[in-house]
Amino acid sequence: MCSGQQNIEANLADQEEMNNTMEIESSPIPQVQPKNCKRWLRISIYVFFVLSCQALSTILGRLYFENGGKSTWMGTLVQLIGFPVLFLFRFLSKTKTPKSTDISLRKFPSFITLGSVYIVTGLLVSANSYMSSVGLLYLPVSTFSLILASQLAFTAFFSYFLNSQKFTPFIVNSLFLLTISSALLVVNTDESQSTTNVSSRVKYVIGIICTIGASAGIGLLLSLVQLILRKVLKKHTVSTVMDLVAYQSLVASCVVLIGLFASGEWKTLTSEMENYKLGKAPYAITLASIAISWQVYTIGVVGLIFESSSVFSNSITAVGLPIVPVVAVIVFGDKMNTSKIFSIILAIWGFISFVYQHYLDEKKLKLSHTDHVGGPPLPVDEGRTNIQIV
């Protein structure tokens, strides 16, 4: 779902952390550290945002369909339409952070380049969000969320071609485990045989295909944006990341709005609201809550990266993985059979393996830069994320 699009930053910031290490080591002036208590308070708040909104947004999305919502375009739109919240977060971050005086940081890409980046990524985001909406409509929440977890395997696969990702034993192990985890659910005979007619079985298959497609699309998006930040934008600042996420959401929202009107589903929204099982007010509240929760989740992911590290952000996301299936069992009565339990275990194992490899890479980079202290300064890319707002 949108979680993949909004997890972009968690796969981007390793190089930024490397730059922070080099700058601190090469600076003759001691860096002023913020008060630890305030920093950990912010980290705790961001962790809460990620864990709670990751589950809440998915559960509310299913709640919309469960109680009479039928518009996949509306289910897609609410994943994206809350992007103005990101501009507010960007503004608040800007007011609290001093601007850099480095002239090199003011070399922006051209308007055409930025526009092309936002349009291409926005189109991909809209496609991913629509497929995930269809998957959530036709699949149980627990099945949907576990299959969508395979996005990490797709991310590693596409990064191999776009970002020269090395297939270390831990990465290969992660790919294998996440693939098996999803495959167990795809061939899960309990759910596929529980559908009593051909129409239901077709919808189940469509849900599986769309969810896998969304997972692959998210992996491609993460790898593509990592390439864009490194080769095109060449900065890893808060403003750069937030602008990219916000503007691609704007483009995706426009695409989805066109789809909503072109498909004619907008004509049924009034009757859909009137016939919603929980009532008109809960209908509006549900959709608004989905929109807000996705954006708060994004803020949490970005906040964890720039307060701690991408590895820590990935770890928190992995911790939240089993929350959605468990909550789905409680709220919707999803069956938690042996296949799903085993799938959860394999998925968590795969996530940990992937995150541990990134931890090793980060540690290796920091050690290599420490060895250069006292020698000639290493080249540093533009952008010190925790001090620059451009």
* Residue 154 falls inside a structural domain: yes
Least confident span in 21-25, 186-190, 269-273, 346-350: 21-25
How does 30-56 read in b/e, with b if 16+ C-beta sit within 10 Å? Answer: eeeeeeeeeeeebbeebbebbbbbbbb
* Residue 274 falls inside a structural domain: yes
**Sequence-separated (6 or more) residues with CB below 8 Å from residue 168:** 357
Confidence of residue 45 (pLDDT cuts 50, 70, 90): very high
* Residue 313 falls inside a structural domain: yes
* Residue 303 falls inside a structural domain: yes
Percent of the chain with pLDDT over 70: 74
Confidence of residue 229 (pLDDT cuts 50, 70, 90): confident
Taking only the tens place, the pLDDT of each residue in 111-133 is: 899 999 999 999 999 999 999 99
Integer Cα distance of 181 and 126 in angstroms: 26
Cβ(363)–Cβ(15) below 8 Å: no
pLDDT at 238 over 80: no
How many distinct structural domains can be found in the chain? Answer: 1
* Residue 254 falls inside a structural domain: yes
* Residue 26 to residues 31, 236, 306, Cα–Cα distance (Å): 11, 20, 20
Neighbours of 106 (CB within 10 A): 10
Percent of the chain with pLDDT over 90: 30
Residue 357: alpha-carbon gap to chain centroid? 19
* Residue 23 falls inside a structural domain: no
Least confident span in 25-34, 243-252, 261-270, 346-355: 25-34
Cβ(343)–Cβ(177) below 8 Å: no
Residue 275: alpha-carbon gap to chain centroid? 33
* Residue 186 falls inside a structural domain: yes
* Residue 384 falls inside a structural domain: no
Instruction: Supply the range of the domain harboring residue 249.
Output: 34-93+109-367
Most confident option among 27-31, 69-73, 86-90, 371-375? 69-73
pLDDT at 105 over 70: no
Integer Cα distance of 38 and 47 in angstroms: 14
pLDDT at 244 over 60: yes
